[in-house]
Amino acid sequence: MEPSLQDLLRKLPSVDELLKTEPIREALTHYPRTLVVQAVRSVLEAGRDRIIQDPESAAPVTLDVPVLVQQALSRMEDLNRFTLQPVVNATGIVIHTNLGRSLLAEEAVQRLQILCRSYNNLEYDLERGRRGSRYVHAEALLCELTGAEAALVVNNNAAAVFLVLNTLAKNREVIVSRGQLVEIGGSFRIPDVMTSSGAVLKEVGCTNRTHLRDYEAAVTDATALLMKVHCSNYRVVGFTAEVSLEELVALGRRFGLPVVEDLGSGSLVDLSPFGLRKEPTAQETVRAGADAVTFSGDKLLGGPQAGIILGREEIVRRCRQNPITRALRVDKMTLAALESTLRLYRDERRAFERIPTLEMIALQLDTLQQRAEALAGLVREVDAAGRLSVSVEKNASQVGGGSLPAQDLPTWAVSVVMKDLGASALERALRRNEPPVIGRIESDRLLLDVRTLRPEDSGIIRDAFAKILRKDAEH
């Protein structure tokens, strides 16, 4: 007689039974008990569900203790993995928001270690021996580097924009061009941040053209400030007109209104020598007369996540005194990493050598070609059976992070095609490597752009291919 569903379920081993098996007792010596029990439970529950759904085919496998033990061990590995882990960025996108944006300079990493291991004067005035402000730490350096009267560092640039508008324009009007109402990604929209700050948006002009007279005509008693937003991730081309910051500043002066610019990626150095379009630097924006300027710490600056506000003394003081600043404040790790990143900018050459974001943008084409050829050689080394076709090719990298849209940097990439394995399966296998290797697919080839690789990544990529080839040979 066929066993009933109840009989089958009763045959499923108990948690205790599995815990007593040799491999799981062994696992208990290096995993916490709670994790082991959780893994065993979830495997048994999954087995139970499978039996209920399909008793005939599921039962023989599901009731097999060694199979369940193996599943539990692999589940333990999954549960024990960090969710936030290092990955190899072979996309060529330097400021990849999904991959953690900018890498920190070694100086910043070391400074983080020093400051996190010890107490520090985060909010302690060593001169006077009493409570101080955390906001002094990067301020002097930011002012030195940009010529701003004052500076304030908050959680990120969205917070910086929010704080400036909440402080200067709550329940009042902010005049902004329709051509600059940008969505940054992850459905984050500048107009939404502006509105949630309590400011009332007053859009002027058209998507492609906004003139000074449009701003001028929109000024009323309710106007709090004039705003300019950097078109981070798109460009309006063709029949276009934009009002320059200088013109906006002159208009602001005439009406006694502050002018605020959200620079987005805000660089402190000119990147046009590397084939990128000339964008105003943060210091040029300050010099052009903007009353407040905001930008990110982890885009072109190449530091930690942060939002930097530069501006006139009176405006920055009001922002600092806004109670909401407390909710946007940065911790000592951010300040430690930011201070050491900014110090590198005192010598621009050194900044390009030491800050990974700048170094990657500045890489020369022949260096990239050499690196691509070296990586291709390493990958071929592990392919004794000749299952891969590996070549190098000229391609294009992006700066990313909503910086410098529609501008590519010429680069070199390694292209890999594997016999009997499609590009997307290969991409997935690399992505599931430990550590994961993230490449991109172009015309059915897997591409590894060497611009964003770190020196240690070559070995990781070689080993990942060795593993994929070995696994594939087993099947």
Ligand X SMILES: *Cc1c(COP(=O)(O)O)cnc(C)c1O
Contact positions toward ligand X, by CB under 6 A? 156-158, 161, 182, 184, 190, 229-230, 232, 262, 264-265, 296, 307, 402
Least separation in angstroms between CB 186 and ligand X:
9
Q: For the chain, what is the largest distance between any 2 Cα atoms, rounded to a whole number of angstroms?
A: 95
Burial code (b: 16+ CB inside 10 Å, e: under 16) for 52-64 equals eeebeebbeebbe
CB of 101 or CB of 451, closer to ligand X: 101
Least separation in angstroms between CB 427 and ligand X:
27
Least separation in angstroms between CB 284 and ligand X:
16
CB of 152 or CB of 461, closer to ligand X: 152
Least separation in angstroms between CB 446 and ligand X:
29
| Alpha-carbon separation of residue 364 from 101, 204, 368 (angstroms) | 21, 42, 6
Alpha-carbon distance of 169 to 243, in angstroms, equals 21
Alpha-carbon distance of 20 to 24, in angstroms, equals 7
Least separation in angstroms between CB 362 and ligand X:
21
CB of 37 or CB of 328, closer to ligand X: 328
CB of 158 or CB of 382, closer to ligand X: 158
Cβ–Cβ contacts within 10 Å for residue 114, how many?
A: 11
Least separation in angstroms between CB 226 and ligand X:
16
Say if CB 161 and CB 225 are below 8 A apart: no
Q: Which two structure tokens, joined as six digits, stand for 343?
A: 């110090």
Our CA dihedral for 101, 106, 107, 108, rounded to 10 degrees, sits at 30
Alpha-carbon distance of 154 to 165, in angstroms, equals 14
CB of 162 or CB of 215, closer to ligand X: 162
Alpha-carbon distance of 213 to 202, in angstroms, equals 14
Exposed, middle or buried, 95 (CB in 10 Å: 0-12/13-18/19+)?
Answer: buried
Residue closest to ligand X (Cβ): 264
Least separation in angstroms between CB 155 and ligand X:
8
CB of 232 or CB of 397, closer to ligand X: 232
CB of 190 or CB of 342, closer to ligand X: 190
Alpha-carbon distance of 360 to 403, in angstroms, equals 14
